[in-house]
Amino acid sequence: MASDHTNSFRVALCVSGGIAAYKAAEVLRGLQQAGCTVRVCMTARATEFVTSLTFRALSGAHVITNDYAPDNPDPIAHITFSQSVDLLLVAPATANIIAKFANGIADDFLTSTYLAANAPVAVAPAMNTTMWEHKATRRNIEQLRADGVYIIEPDAGEMACGTTGAGRLAEPARIVATAMEILHNKRQATSTPLLCEQNLSGERILITAGGTREAIDPVRFISNRSSGRMGFALAEAAIARGALVTIIAGTTTASLPTNASIRTVHVTTAAEMHAAVMREIEHATIFVAAAAVADYRPTETVREKIKKTGATLTLMLEPTADILAEVAHKRRHRGLLVIGFAAESHDLVAHAQEKLTGKKLDLIVANDITQDGAGFDSDTNIVTLINSITHTPHALPLLSKREVAERILDEITLLRLTTSTQSASAVDPSNAAPHASDLSQPAQTKETFATKQQHTHTSQT
Ligand code: CTP
């Protein structure tokens, strides 16, 4: 039974017996801080690693370890427990539990609950590397995938047994983010809005929009076909959700948003956009770089109009500052979420992943500019969203730019819930936020670049 949109999500957190069982407490806290109501069940082995009292204290509810126990308040708990939740999350999931799930064995409360579940199921495996890589486990994992179970891949690293390799329980923040993504997608699929209308109140969002113009001479410039529509749609959607919005608008052809509360700063060049962003960024809690900023500008602007001579003309270009990367690397203050776009013509996901990690972003919105209905100067877009927590590409269909903006803001809201979960979670102090301030990055090196131009009026991208 799914909760309605005014209620929080209900999650059954199932803990099986492994050394990582203690991390389930952090998962529980993370889910609660993301607004979920969590009930816990444990296998008998799990209670040897962590007591059920820990989870009872954290969840505020009876923890089921044995449904035959006299203190169990519900005589058919495996049915009510599994059919009154929006998600069954098993973390950690041992090799034994995975094998039982894969084969339909129901010999205790957790395994019976799995068979009786009519909600989505996600498992976060944790085990020794050799067990994880064993052919039997590989087979069982593939069987679970085929059965529609979400697998939250384990991390690689040093294991409790002293070996190094894959099999360590995924970081609790990643487990929580994946669980929220599953819940979110499930709710979207049933067309029930997840997020309340004012879910960005208190946020100050700074958005770059449009293109830039880099002058070659008094009449010619380098620019691109960006209309500003995507940035403006984001601004309108964000203000409707209660955020304070500032746009740094380059050259645009779309109509500016009409909402008088949206502040707009007009700029022309990449350097002006850079200066405006650096001035405004300290007041922002979210930065979205939707502008198509020129990557190169002429090394000099010729004061007089260049005359036609009939010969070829070489323009010397130099790189502009990457505004987005600079904000993410050097100007990120605590809690600032940084979102970038990636306009690609090939290998969309690979290039977007590179930009996500290379520029240290929280979210990247990638679009294949070769597809009809996507990209520049269009009312619609086809984008893939990838966040820095799950790194899972989420491809959206052809949507209006306003609808794309709403989906981006949904994702931002989830990221905000997850990052505040991480900073509020004191269970493991070494669990730093995924992109905390990093002031140690070297400044970009400046290169020069020469290109032969037949025409002086060119367009970027
Ligand atoms: N961006 C920026 N400043 C620049 C160039 C790009 O802030 N000087 C931002 C854009 O607003 C966008 C993101 O960086 O959010 C990616 O832009 P894109 O042109 O796709 O990628 P680049 O990093 O410029 O790389 P390339 O052009 O080689 O794909």
End-to-end CA separation in angstroms for the chain: 49
pLDDT surpassing 50 at residue 443: no
Q: How far is CA 408 from CA 200, 248, 364, 368, 405, in A?
A: 12, 19, 9, 17, 5
Closest atom of ligand 1 to CA, residue 270: 8
**Residue 432 confidence (pLDDT):** 34
> What is the pLDDT confidence band of residue 57, given thresholds at 50, 70 and 90?
very high
Phi, psi of 6 (to 5 degrees): -85, -15
CB distance 341 to ligand 1 below 6 Å: yes
Site to probe by mutation for ligand 1, drawn from 267, 318, 355, 367 as the one with most ligand atoms within 8 Å of Cβ, is: 355
How many Å is the Cα radius of gyration of the chain? 26
Q: How far apart are CA 323 and CA 303, in angstroms?
A: 27
Q: Is 36 a catalytic residue?
A: no
pLDDT surpassing 50 at residue 425: no
ω into 92 cis (within 30 of 0):
yes
CB distance 293 to ligand 1 below 6 Å: yes
Q: How far is CA 220 from CA 62, 309, 456, 457, in A?
A: 72, 16, 7, 6
Name which residue sits closest to atom 17 of ligand 1, judged by CA: 342
CB distance 230 to ligand 1 below 6 Å: no
**Residue 76 confidence (pLDDT):** 67
**Helical H segments across 190-305, by residue range:** 229-240, 270-280
Nearest Cα to 208, choosing from 297, 258, 279, 259? 279
Nearest Cα to 15, choosing from 59, 57, 52? 52
Mode of pairing for the β-strands spanning 286-289 and 263-266:
unpaired
Most confident of 5-19, 145-159, 353-367: 353-367
- % the chain with pLDDT above 90: 63
Per-residue pLDDT reduced to its tens digit, 345-373: 999 999 999 999 999 999 999 998 888 77
Closest atom of ligand 1 to CA, residue 277: 7
Name which residue sits closest to atom 23 of ligand 1, judged by CA: 355
Per-residue pLDDT reduced to its tens digit, 188-216: 666 444 444 458 989 999 999 999 999 99
Q: How far apart are CA 110 and CA 460, in angstroms?
A: 57
Asked whether the whole model's pTM tops 0.85, one would answer no
**Residue 3 confidence (pLDDT):** 42
> What is the pLDDT confidence band of residue 292, given thresholds at 50, 70 and 90?
very high
CB distance 289 to ligand 1 below 6 Å: yes
Site to probe by mutation for ligand 1, drawn from 341, 351, 384 as the one with most ligand atoms within 8 Å of Cβ, is: 341
Active-site residue, selected from the candidate residues 36, 41, 161, 196: 161
Q: How far apart are CA 48 and CA 229, in angstroms?
A: 57
Q: How far apart are CA 242 and CA 4, in angstroms?
A: 23
CB distance 342 to ligand 1 below 6 Å: yes
Tokens representing 149 are 């179970």
Name which residue sits closest to atom 21 of ligand 1, judged by CA: 342
Mode of pairing for the β-strands spanning 399-400 and 380-381:
antiparallel
Maximum distance among all Cα pairs of the chain, rounded to whole angstroms: 96
Per-residue pLDDT reduced to its tens digit, 84-141: 899 999 999 999 999 999 999 999 999 999 999 999 999 999 999 999 999 999 999 9
Per-residue pLDDT reduced to its tens digit, 239-282: 998 999 999 999 999 999 988 889 999 999 999 999 999 999 99
